[in-house]
Structure 1
């Protein structure tokens, strides 16, 4: 298995774990007899766990080496899938979800940091496609989860079987990962990594994109029901469509990056998402609303992969850069649904998505932060091209 295929398989496995849990939340809710408030708090725990744990991930990768760290954390991520289904009471569920989030976030950081180095090693952009495969893995596992729920398979059995299969796939993929270690004189990552100024600027772009993504994913069905008069089936299908358009865009995103460079891809994508936001805000029937959410998905799809790639180049090491920007984007994921709900309750749903559209506009204006070294952003000479391994690739501070 070559390095590209190996890291692609890791991304698919990571997405499959997330997609598996998402489909069986109702089973956990029913088993523990949770009310909406308690369930909402439980679903907040993964983001808190990830937010707290991610800044430590780059130090682990430095100590163990990237390949062992990716293999270890992906195995842990597969294993903790069982914990929420085994939780006997709400308190145990909160603890399980915190651990689930910590494993999710740390594995996310190390695999994206490793992907930055694989991208440099093979000399072309691959990050968008990797995130597309994450979506594919999530949707495929979600489909299996829907079938398991429909046939009333106990989630403990479902999760155990899936975890075993994904653990094997993750360990097998890990054997093909790039054997990369920081240079002997490279600075050791800090115990708790905070983003530097350059990564903060890149993180702003990622924050805006994930804010729009998280709000749209969580509120699209409610919006279409309350504002556009959609029936339950049509409203639920809007989320599937949103994710499908995101996945498809990410799978072709690397070609766009190689053709136009990341800055133009983010700007054009942002303009598409702004158009989608305008459609959502003005929609009073389901069709334009669904189209608007689909355009938001298309517009923000490639941003997070490009943000991770840029942050990997601007941190002291790729791992630190990715950890810093991941912390910012998870903060966005953590706050976006709640802020959207507060605005909708205080004003209206269209007003809430009007604010989200403005957030996307900020992303468009900030896209220049992804530029590198003053290059022109075209084809192989632009920021979309992957430079030969240089200071950042060997763990030394980037000079840009």
Structure 2
């Protein structure tokens, strides 16, 4: 199946994969930028937002859990299309439930669809990224994740403009849902079927899907999966807590005006995007382990500054350092999981699952704790997890895979 690609086809695949990452980031920050307005519309406190996030997190875990089965059945290519369409539909329902109907239950249903779709596509788009790395022979994962961050920058910027223009949440979410659906259809049309991403042409004979599912779960029996998971857990917590709680921490923790929330989130997202755009050459020059340790220190210092400084320029500087420091933990973890091309799909899926469980389940827990000790104090927990991520950075050291090991893995 993995036939030689023309340069034109390879470029289209590259651009399409970037668009998929961008659409996922766009959806996340669209929701995050309107959390304060949704909270006010539904008349709930931090614990209520935490419950919404819990519903999204549970659905996302289900999406993460079934992603290997979806890939075994459909392949990453078709699976990503289905998942992104669910994200788009969920976003529209969130807007209708929170703004038009003002019903907590409807908003929760929307977040469940939104979470399930994002959980599934997050695993599959990273597997697709590993397939693209294999086809190009280059480290592209940081740049792909830069496009996720670029999507969050766009979403945060549009959220800021929507708040300033007094655009209703339902109108904002509906427009963004349509945009995400259009991007999904256009992007998937340019993604080729590849064996490493468990795709197949309809006429192609391949192993039964249960055998492919068993192969995709093999990585869970490897200790390195869990040590890489610690790195990704800490950095996913750093990123996820910002996406879901940074605007609320600015508005309700620092006492800033509502439009300052999306503005600070945009600063965080811009810093993270720049880190990912520039990260590939830096990692190639200095190595994964050294870069991860330096960035863990940067993220922890930035988050501490964000927590303790009064609202003003220092808060923006703290958010920028926080975003820069958290920028490469997840993509480096993905690249490390994909070191062995013969086992890339199963290892990337496992590592992505660990990271996204933290990314999606951490914020609801932080919301519950935040009701007791305040959001800013709660973010100190994230500082500790970032430090743990730095301490385990040695797990990302590149593997040396022999030809014999690759041959054995294919048998």
Distance 1:264 1:374 in 2: 18
The 1:259–1:37 alpha-carbon spacing in structure 2 relative to 1, beyond 3 Å, is same
1:117 to 131, 138, 141: 131
The answer to which of 305-314 and 131-140 deviates more is 305-314
Distance 1:234 1:171 in 2: 33
The 1:205–1:104 alpha-carbon spacing in structure 2 relative to 1, beyond 3 Å, is same
Q: TM-score, normalised by structure 1?
A: 0.80
The 1:84–1:316 alpha-carbon spacing in structure 2 relative to 1, beyond 3 Å, is farther
Distance 1:219 1:20 in 2: 13
Q: Which residue matches 1:19?
A: 29
The answer to which of 353-362 and 126-135 deviates more is 353-362
Structure 1 residue 289 displacement after superposition: 4.7
State whether residues 293 and 393 of structure 2, in contact with CA within 8 Å, keep that contact through their aligned partners in structure 1. Answer: yes
State whether residues 135 and 243 of structure 1, in contact with CA within 8 Å, keep that contact through their aligned partners in structure 2. Answer: yes
Post-superposition Cα deviations, 1:106-136, rounded to whole Å, max 9, x if no partner, equal 0111111111110111111111111111121
Structure 1 residue 140 displacement after superposition: 1.6
Q: Which residue matches 2:202?
A: none
Q: How does 1:36-55 map to 2 (within 5 A)?
A: 36-55=46-65
Q: Which residue matches 2:190?
A: 176
Distance 2:267 2:140 in 1: 24
1:253 to 279, 288, 294: 279
Post-superposition Cα deviations, 1:33-89, rounded to whole Å, max 9, x if no partner, equal 545543331233212211122121022112212222222322332233212123343
State whether residues 92 and 173 of structure 2, in contact with CA within 8 Å, keep that contact through their aligned partners in structure 1. Answer: yes
Q: Which residue matches 1:335?
A: 362
Aligned to 1:65, the other structure's residue is in SS state helix
The 1:287–1:49 alpha-carbon spacing in structure 2 relative to 1, beyond 3 Å, is same
State whether residues 340 and 406 of structure 2, in contact with CA within 8 Å, keep that contact through their aligned partners in structure 1. Answer: no
Distance 1:78 1:127 in 2: 24
The answer to which of 313-322 and 299-308 deviates more is 313-322
Normalized per residue, the structure richer in helix is 2
Aligned to 1:81, the other structure's residue is in SS state helix
Q: How does 1:254-273 map to 2 (within 5 A)?
A: 254-273=280-299
Post-superposition Cα deviations, 1:247-281, rounded to whole Å, max 9, x if no partner, equal 11111112222222322221221232244356457
Q: Which residue matches 2:322?
A: 296
Q: Which residue matches 2:220?
A: 195
The answer to which of 193-202 and 5-14 deviates more is 193-202
Runs of 4+ with >6 A deviation:
221-227
Q: Which residue matches 1:57?
A: 67
Structure 1 residue 396 displacement after superposition: 4.4
Distance 1:283 1:180 in 2: 49
Q: How does 1:235-246 map to 2 (within 5 A)?
A: 236=261, 237-246=263-272
Distance 1:131 1:209 in 2: 13
Unaligned runs of at least 5 residues, structure 1: 376-386
Q: Which residue matches 2:201?
A: none
The 1:78–1:191 alpha-carbon spacing in structure 2 relative to 1, beyond 3 Å, is farther
1:139 correspondence with 2:143: no
The answer to which of 20-29 and 259-268 deviates more is 20-29
1:103 correspondence with 2:130: no
1:73 correspondence with 2:98: no
Q: How does 1:215-226 map to 2 (within 5 A)?
A: 215-216=241-242
2:386 to 357, 360, 385: 360
State whether residues 204 and 366 of structure 1, in contact with CA within 8 Å, keep that contact through their aligned partners in structure 2. Answer: yes
Distance 1:91 1:347 in 2: 26
State whether residues 77 and 107 of structure 1, in contact with CA within 8 Å, keep that contact through their aligned partners in structure 2. Answer: no
The answer to which of 179-188 and 256-265 deviates more is 179-188
Distance 1:201 1:367 in 2: 9
Distance 2:259 2:88 in 1: 33
Unaligned runs of at least 5 residues, structure 2: 1-10, 199-205
